[in-house]
A and B are shown apart, each in its own frame.
Chain A
Amino acid sequence: MFDTYQKQLGIAVLAIIGLTILSIFIGVSDVTPEKLFANSDDGRALQVLLISRIPRTLAILLAGGSMALVGMIMQILARNRFVEPSTAGTVESAGLGLLVVTVLAPEMPIFGKMLVASLFALMGTFLFLRILRSIPLRSVLVVPLVGIVLGGVIGAITTFFAYRLDLLQSLNAWLTGSFAGILSGRYELLWISLVLMIAAYIAADRFTVAGMGQDFTTNLGLNYNRVMTLGLIIVSMVTAVVVVTVGMIPFLGLIVPNVVRQMQGDNVRRTAPWVIVIGAGFVLVCDMIGRVIRFPYEIPIGVVVGVVGSILFLFMLLRKDAHVA
């Protein structure tokens, strides 16, 4: 009835659901299932649950899943295993866009700000690809280096203006990923990333084909530039949505797709569900670690993901050599 792929994925989804429930009941304010049904504290527990815990957990799942997915899409389209939105100038460009719109049109609703940030992210990513095309010898590692340099330049411009305009603190708050500020009413934008994930899944085969290169794509009757543009729009919008709501989560788009790739390969139709599930689960676990390790204080998600992620990534790099059959 179900093949092994579906069974394994099903088990992973169940595990994530379990973690999600666990995550909802972790926190400073005491929320337990008994309290919820006891009616003794005037529904305070229920309020905490609805206003803070559930929104926070949903934000984690949506941001984690979608950032991991766009990391994979970028790697496939750029044909390089080391790019992701934070090594291609995408995140920094979104940050610049956010600054520009905050200064020029502070009254604009958050949705409009997100769109402006997306547009900047898209332009930054195109600039990255354009620079890559004009570099003759592109070795695997030069590509992310170029992206990091580009990101650095854009980030410096942003910092300069933020400093001049006395917005440095807000800028830092935007860019450092944290789920601490997530409350009901301040995360709903992230549902857009769910729509984008669905769109990416529908276009999965196009991305796989484009990952085989321009000639293969043309031979199979697809317009290469159109597929690239579609992919980069999805990447930019997801990045902007996540930066605007929770800030930057480093490494995520790099580690998760690479781990999944080792097991499942590069067929996006098959790997996308795995990348989303593992991405969401990974952020969920990191967030729980960040919340319990110095309880009742909280370590920002960016820091936890950075530490756990780099250890995992090293482990993966070392293991890869041993694995080659």
Chain B
Amino acid sequence: MIEIKNVTKAYDKAVVVDGVTLQIPAGGITSIIGPNGAGKSTLLSMISRLLPMNGGQVLVDGLDVTTTAGDVLARRLSILRQDNHIGSRLTVRDLVTFGRYPYSKGRPTVEDLKHVRMALQYLNLESMSERFLDELSGGQRQRAFVAMVLCQDTDYVLMDEPLNNLDMKHAVAMMKILRRAADELHKTIVLVLHDVNFASCYSDYIVAMKDGKIACHGSPYDIINANVMCNVYEIDVAVQDIDGKRIAIYYT
């Protein structure tokens, strides 16, 4: 379980995450939605100790993220940020292999290499595994980063907009992979998603953020409705039940 207790982040006087308290249950997919600037990425960065907080505490399985040793946490929790500019000229396989660093410390074992192979296979990257990252398309690169994070094989996986740059086919494939990881490997997956319909179809739990606070949280059935959507995003949204899933229609 991830326990977020009264976490606050401010830049100068601007409070961008404002006393957020939330418990993310172990197992399953939790999606964070909300408009641009709501503080989703900031919250995720603080949960994953990439960004220091001004106040509050985050516990992952009871471990305080700010005081727990970095390499201990790296075997429990992994994070993929929203935009990843790595200037390094690494091959896809090298990048994914570095996902094993917390275990292998640079000397991958047979077991580590098995994880690498599986991650490459899951994300359909085998055919380009020897190519350099700077020679890939945006979506291919995104898949390589996701493969690296999955290769880290942690109980908690945090991803900020993992569907960035992905086409329909790969977006659906990605969500299915994550769903499988949650169901079969009992991972706890926390995603920031902009497409509320993906959140609706694949999450167990949705958290809606607005202006640095949690607007509401609950099951997709509770959150994806015209009222809440209109409240959070300030536009008119029609919600329909299609094949037992709540689908928001907001294009016109």
Chain A residues within 8 Å of B, Cβ to Cβ: 76, 79-80, 204-206, 208-209, 211-216, 218-223, 261, 265-267, 269, 325
Contact = CB atoms under 8 A, between A and B. Distances in A.
A219 B90 contact: no
Given A218-B49, A221-B75, A261 B106 contact: no
Contacts of B70: 218, 221-223
Given A218-B49, A219-B78, A267-B94, A261 B89 contact: yes
A257 to B, nearest CB: 11
A219 B87 contact: no
Contacts of A266: 88-90
Given A204-B106, A265-B94, A219 B89 contact: no
Contacts of B106: 204-206, 269
A261 B88 CA distance: 10
A66 B42 CA distance: 41
Contact of A208 (B72, B78, B98, B152): B98
Nearest to B97: A267
A215 B73 contact: no
B86 interface: yes
A204 B101 CA distance: 12
B90 A216 contact: no
Given A221-B69, A221-B74, 20 more contacts: A205-B105, A208-B88, A208-B90, A208-B98, A211-B86, A212-B86, A213-B86, A216-B84, A216-B86, A218-B70, A219-B48, A219-B79, A220-B98, A222-B71, A222-B101, A223-B70, A265-B88, A265-B91, A265-B94, A267-B94
B236 interface: no
Chain B: number of interface residues, binned into ranges: 20 to 34
A204 B106 CA distance: 9
B183 interface: no
Nearest to A324: B135
A265 B98 contact: no
Contacts of A208: 88, 90, 94, 98
Contact of B50 (A205, A219, A222): A219
Given A219-B78, A325-B135, A211 B87 contact: yes
Interface in B54-107: 69-75, 78-79, 81, 84-91, 94, 98-99, 101-102, 105-106
Contacts of A325: 135
Contacts of B152: 219-220
Contacts of B221: none
Contacts of A215: 50, 79, 81
Contacts of A212: 86, 88, 90, 98
A205 B75 CA distance: 18
Contacts of B132: 265
A218 B74 CA distance: 8
Contacts of B91: 265, 267
A144 to B, nearest CB: 15
Contacts of A223: 70
Contacts of B72: 221
Contacts of B98: 205, 208-209, 212, 220
Nearest to A271: B89
Contacts of B50: 214-215, 218-219
B144 to A, nearest CB: 12
A223 B70 CA distance: 7
A76 B74 contact: no
B140 to A, nearest CB: 14
B74 A220 contact: yes
14 contacts: A79-B87, A79-B88, A208-B98, A209-B101, A211-B86, A211-B87, A215-B81, A216-B86, A221-B70, A221-B75, A222-B101, A223-B70, A265-B89, A269-B106
Nearest to B81: A215
Contact of B90 (A79, A204, A206, A267): A267
Contacts of A220: 74, 98-99, 101-102, 152
A209 B70 CA distance: 14
Interface string B95-133: 000110110011000000000000000000000000010
The 6 tightest CB contacts between A and B, nearest first, are A221-B74, A205-B106, A221-B71, A266-B88, A265-B89, A266-B89
B74 A219 contact: yes
B226 to A, nearest CB: 37
A211 B95 CA distance: 12
A205 B94 CA distance: 11
A76 B86 CA distance: 11
A265 B97 CA distance: 15
Nearest to B78: A219
A197 B74 CA distance: 29
A211 B152 CA distance: 18
A143 to B, nearest CB: 12
